[in-house]
Structure 1
């Protein structure tokens, strides 16, 4: 076989195999993305992904051919009868089935099909190897000619698809139009007494790991001191157990079953969600600013960017180690689907252990001061009228990598203190067996140290803020989007549990006119934050907000008790008017809490007054309470389904 022909044959084989793998992946991807986007929206990313995938296939083919040709040159020195077609045919007959089994038919188990053990499979492999070796030596040219004639039509199809993909990749994807009905109009101008409002969100900050909330480690010494003359809500619950749905609830005053943004919005940004807090504030004359370090919480991802004056991108707050990583971070935040599919999870890059194409949060440093400094710089030059600032810092979110001297401060120094150790631990946002609890406890120390670092950065920020802004008319609100778990067999956040560590978040509100501090034990929700901000600003609360203002509690008053909800609904479709049938919903009513797994038809009931760690399920002995709380969830779902059908 001529050298040129051997190269073209190798290229064709690799492209066919890569295309088969791409088709399998495309079906898997679309099965997930179809829950919240149309195929028209998916098509541009699919097309560009195919182009990049094909380029990777060409690179792999060149590398393989060079290796095979080098093997021929080495072997032919001692074995004169070995020719290039022998080497290529042997590679095709051995590598192709292995590739198909490993990467395309990976759901098939050889051991289950054959019922054989490892030794038997090894013997069978050796026999197969010998048979292939004999066939190749006798019929190499014939085999290659037959394969070449069979794959040529497939190669032409791939070429046509590649040509079609070029213009399709240039199409502009559509956006979700959730909340596009606009029925809210300002009825008055901005009140001259309206204060500045600074809303700080520390990502993944669990109330249970804060010194302020009774935690044994001194994780928040400054916040504890600062909160002494503030209002501290002891029982604030997030709308979900991860960023996007929770942040959307904060910004809209609506629960996830109403706003329906319970998916990764960085993959499919919401087009224009008009029912949002920043827009109401802007319509009444507020200057609205956003400084957000988490792409899943960025105004552009949530579809509320029109209200914001500044347009700082998420990646601009990341400290990248090189020019290349910086450019990749920009691409990742702009083209998440392609970057995650073709680069981060690339077969080629994973085989070569290229770490530069990981998610940028694993290769960049996340420091809150980059966000705080940008805000302070901006506000010092733009403070003519009252403003609302949404500041969302990434720490103490994973990876838990505080700088010295915080790293190792709480013990077990040298354990899980690098990005590689934490990534390779398989304890990042994942379930773990009981025997690994000791390791999880060490990881929690790194998390707590990151909280302490964040606490001190917040102290520095406020110190500089007092020199920049008129604090006599400025309200500061500190909270989190969700918590973080190191118990119940799960480390991190997300997935489908709604235990207290995941959803119990801090809420501290400090006003300049408050004479002394107070704590409020009444359970409240994230959806109550938006109405509270509006009342602080002397702006009427629109009807589409499900939350309620907490200001009566500041003044010694009371609010009617009502159920509190948190939910993880990512398994449900947002495209179309489908009812909510999957996921997890938690409801609090008095001292009781129920966690209901919808698709498993399973519930756990806890009495938090006597079982704050949620260790004892009392659903059987308190069956009447269980049924009552399940009914609360069903009623809420019914109202949500009615809204969706409209």
Structure 2
């Protein structure tokens, strides 16, 4: 096993593909990631399976959908069945040493409860699946996160699987002085109290100019994180790990600054929230390749296992993307043809009450968003309307009915299933 490639999985928090220059954004927000992509496979149509961190991260690591692994709500527990044979567990059984370095705002909640009854899934995951673990506290320090990452890399026996979760550019969007002002010259949104009224809530149309400025701070935050991540990549390369490691870069979910909503979580599943990056660099690198096949987070674990030559556990919902990357077929499908699903978090409104869960499915070039409590649907033709601006549910009721039935069939027996199908015709 000493010659088996290492696996480094990097997940950013709240990094929307639509705000990355790698994906055509108008601002140069990700120059170092852009450079990294020159020797990698870049997936142009990668979808998060949730608009919230815990469900999405659980889907990445288990290969299962949120309504199946049981963690569709923040801090909810993943079912015992899903925790068995997750990505880290499979790799450990194959002789990999596993480690995780997690930077999360609420990380201290998990680290204090490791091994205790009733702790969150992330804590259990790290306690039982990862040989080493380090979680930063309430104040997130990229220096501390990256310093611990390099310590783990220097001490890890090979082959190893390292999962690194980077909290920025999650709110608050507070870039350092060196980056503040790059995109927003106005002296606004420089402190957290000025940003907080917008976080994860709806806003009136009159506030859009202010939200646009806030997005500029978010973009500056991305730019700074990109530069710092570039330094980490240089340190990894200097250790010779570029030639011996598979490096996967992605995000848990995106961030929204339009359509009257700012942040993530909440009831919405539009592209700014679920279109995330996926960059796969194989050992030694390859000429940069753009992959158009649609992918989703549950495909990441099967793809890693397939690239390593391991069998994909039958309970994983995702499919290998190796065929889409290298041509031909992977061990289980090409990942691009099957429907893609997402679920919104259960969101409590600031003034009390809560929004119900929304679900979406992408299939045959169309996307259906189903509001579970009301049964209302939105339907978009992603080929003609990638920005999801024209709802065609009334124009194509048969397509809407087909996609809604697809959701019902897939999740009717799941934890908190989607409810009753409504006849659209």
TM exceeds 0.5? yes
Aligned residue number for residue 50 of structure 2: 240
Mapping for residues 52-63 of structure 1, pairs under 5 Å: none
Quick one: which of 285, 291, 296 aligns to 1:525?
Answer: 296
Structure showing the higher strand proportion among its residues: 2
Aligned residue number for residue 396 of structure 2: 622
Quick one: which of 93, 100, 116 aligns to 1:290?
Answer: 100
Q: Tell me how far 1:567 sits from its aligned partner.
A: 0.6
Aligned residue number for residue 7 of structure 2: 197
RMSD: 2.3
Tell me how far apart the structure 1 counterparts of residues 417 and 222 of structure 2 sit (CA, whole Å).
39
Aligned residue number for residue 214 of structure 2: 443
Matched, 1:506 2:327: no
Quick one: which of 361, 374, 393 aligns to 2:166?
Answer: 393
Q: Which runs of 5 or more structure 2 residues have no equivalent in the other structure?
A: 115-119, 349-354, 419-425
Matched, 1:432 2:203: yes
Q: Tell me how far 1:588 sits from its aligned partner.
A: 0.6
Tell me how far apart the structure 1 counterparts of residues 57 and 305 of structure 2 sit (CA, whole Å).
17
Q: Tell me how far 1:643 sits from its aligned partner.
A: 10
Q: Tell me how far 1:556 sits from its aligned partner.
A: 1.9
Contact residue 237 and residue 524 of structure 1 kept, 8 A: yes
Contact residue 585 and residue 597 of structure 1 kept, 8 A: yes
Q: Tell me how far 1:478 sits from its aligned partner.
A: 0.5
Matched, 1:370 2:144: yes
Aligned residue number for residue 534 of structure 1: 305
Tell me how far apart the structure 1 counterparts of residues 152 and 347 of structure 2 sit (CA, whole Å).
40
Tell me how far apart the structure 1 counterparts of residues 406 and 106 of structure 2 sit (CA, whole Å).
30
The TM-score normalised by the length of structure 2 is 0.87
Q: Which runs of 5 or more structure 1 residues have no equivalent in the other structure?
A: 1-190, 316-359, 573-580
Aligned residue number for residue 473 of structure 1: 244
Matched, 1:584 2:358: yes
The one-character-per-residue Cα deviations of 1:486-525 (angstroms, maximum 9, x if unpaired) are 0111000001100000000000001124431111111111
Aligned residue number for residue 343 of structure 2: 567
Q: Tell me how far 1:287 sits from its aligned partner.
A: 0.6
Give the secondary-structure state (helix, strand or coil) at the position aligned to 1:391: strand
Contact residue 200 and residue 390 of structure 1 kept, 8 A: yes
Mapping for residues 111-510 of structure 1, pairs under 5 Å: 191-265=1-75, 273-294=83-104, 301-302=120-121, 303-305=124-126, 306-315=128-137, 360=138, 364=139, 366-382=140-156, 384-423=157-196, 426-510=197-281
Aligned length: 393
Q: Tell me how far 1:469 sits from its aligned partner.
A: 4.2
Contact residue 267 and residue 356 of structure 2 kept, 8 A: no
Contact residue 17 and residue 272 of structure 2 kept, 8 A: yes
Contact residue 481 and residue 505 of structure 1 kept, 8 A: yes
Structure 1 pair 555/270, CA: closer, same or farther in 2 (3 Å)?
Answer: closer
Tell me how far apart the structure 2 counterparts of residues 620 and 522 of structure 1 sit (CA, whole Å).
28
Tell me how far apart the structure 2 counterparts of residues 531 and 372 of structure 1 sit (CA, whole Å).
27
Contact residue 44 and residue 293 of structure 2 kept, 8 A: yes
Structure showing the higher helix proportion among its residues: 1
Higher RCO, 1 or 2 (CA under 8 Å, sep at least 6)? 2
Structure 1 pair 271/561, CA: closer, same or farther in 2 (3 Å)?
Answer: closer
Give the secondary-structure state (helix, strand or coil) at the position aligned to 2:169: coil
Structure 1 pair 607/474, CA: closer, same or farther in 2 (3 Å)?
Answer: same
Q: Tell me how far 1:465 sits from its aligned partner.
A: 1.1
The one-character-per-residue Cα deviations of 1:98-135 (angstroms, maximum 9, x if unpaired) are xxxxxxxxxxxxxxxxxxxxxxxxxxxxxxxxxxxxxx
Contact residue 51 and residue 274 of structure 2 kept, 8 A: yes
Contact residue 70 and residue 77 of structure 2 kept, 8 A: no
Tell me how far apart the structure 2 counterparts of residues 436 and 643 of structure 1 sit (CA, whole Å).
36
Q: Tell me how far 1:246 sits from its aligned partner.
A: 0.4
The TM-score normalised by the length of structure 1 is 0.58
Contact residue 201 and residue 478 of structure 1 kept, 8 A: yes
Tell me how far apart the structure 2 counterparts of residues 270 and 609 of structure 1 sit (CA, whole Å).
35
| Higher CA-based Rg | 1
Tell me how far apart the structure 1 counterparts of residues 93 and 208 of structure 2 sit (CA, whole Å).
51
Q: Tell me how far 1:277 sits from its aligned partner.
A: 1.1
Give the secondary-structure state (helix, strand or coil) at the position aligned to 1:311: strand
